[in-house]
Homo-oligomer: A and B are copies of this chain.
């Protein structure tokens, strides 16, 4: 890379001290107009830009926020990133994005690297493997180092930090209630393994809605998907039962379920209703389009980053972690058009 122009260069070239240059560039009253003009003209001519590393070192802050996501090729997470970035830019921050790829080891490593001073704070959604392990030491260490941290979506209560989540129980309830209202009686649930807490919470909502209608939850109608083996096969399994609707905790499962239903000759939404989670493009463009729970990823991201920046910039010693719950809502589409 070309030799960059620095304050020193300018100082030497113009026969003044670095302090004078620094002050002149900040339009300090200490410096005479002529000197300022001369220095500023020179700086402009040679396109001087203050070296941000030097400033970061001096100010002891980077104006960078680290973001660690389990994955990115995913509508929800990419929407969240959008929100985080927008919120960050508004406050003069930038984001450094890393992925854990759902791996515990990579999450630990990334957290370690980012917490060595390269970022002012972190926004994280926990990797699946970590949730399974239940080993959160890398997070609690971060907290005890007092590095600002905000967890979102996939959070755990043991980690004492700010959190942003969707109202998963409520969402599960709304989704199931909607199916019941449409007259469905035997509703399958396609969810994640228990360690993924969002899945568990959505399941609670599902069960709550059923109980209210005096329907006993039937274990055979519930399938916990193991992403390491054939997802489609596992979903097909539930179709061995007699069912008239399905609530899936994400849109991939929902799309798969609908496809299977159609292949089995079921007419969606006439004979069979489908409802998913994450209001992504699949739900919008599949046919029939799929009713979903909208997660408001953008809002989540924005709230998370605002929370974090507040935490970073507030020097208050006493600090009680906040938890923001974003309410989700139903996005009605063709897959649950009332069966006449």
Residues of A at under 8 Å CB distance from B?
1-2, 4, 47, 49-54, 56-57, 62, 64, 72-75, 78-79, 81-82, 85, 89, 94-99, 112-118, 141, 145-148, 252, 255-256, 259, 262, 280-282, 285-287
Chain B residues near A89: list those with CB within 8 A: 98
Asked if A115 and B49 sit within 8 Å, CB to CB, the answer is: yes
Complex contact B147–A255 (CB within 8 A): no
Of all chain B residues, the one with the shortest Cβ separation from A298 is: B73
A118-B285 in contact (CB<8A)? no
Give the nearest-CB partner of A148 in chain B.
Answer: B1
**Contact for A255 among B78, B96, B285, CB less than 8 A:** B285
CB distance from A225 to the nearest CB of B (A): 16
A287 CA to B256 CA, complexed, in Å: 11
User: A1 — which chain B residues lie within 8 A by C-beta?
Assistant: 145-148
Chain A residues touching B, majority SS: mixed
B99 touches A82 (CB 8 A): yes
Tell me whether A2 and B259 are in contact (CB under 8 A): no
User: Which of A57, A79, A95, A114: most chain B Cβ within 10 A?
Assistant: A57
Number of copies: 2
The 9 closest A-B pairs by CB, nearest first: A2-B146, A255-B285, A97-B97, A49-B116, A51-B117, A53-B57, A73-B78, A52-B116, A52-B118
Alpha-carbon distance A180/B81, docked complex (angstroms): 41
Specify which chain B residues have a CB less than 8 angstroms from the CB of A259 in the assembled complex. Answer: 285, 287
- CB contact between A53 and one of B78, B115, B117, B286 (< 8 Å): that residue: B117
Given the complex, which residues of B lie within 8 Å of A252, measured CB to CB?
281, 285
Chain B: which residue is nearest A315 at the CB level?
Answer: B1
> In the assembly, what is the distance between CA of A97 and CA of B4, in Å?
24
- New A-B pairs, 11, CB < 8 Å, besides A53-B53, A74-B78: A1-B146, A1-B148, A49-B115, A49-B116, A54-B57, A73-B82, A82-B99, A94-B113, A94-B118, A95-B98, A252-B281
Q: Which residue, of A52, A89, A252, A259, has the highest number of chain B Cβ atoms within 10 A? A: A52
- What are 29 A-B residue pairs whose CB atoms fall within 8 Å in the complex? A1-B146, A1-B148, A2-B145, A2-B146, A47-B145, A50-B116, A51-B116, A51-B117, A52-B117, A54-B57, A64-B118, A72-B78, A73-B75, A73-B82, A81-B97, A85-B99, A94-B114, A95-B97, A96-B96, A97-B97, A256-B285, A262-B287, A280-B281, A281-B281, A281-B282, A282-B285, A282-B286, A286-B286, A286-B287
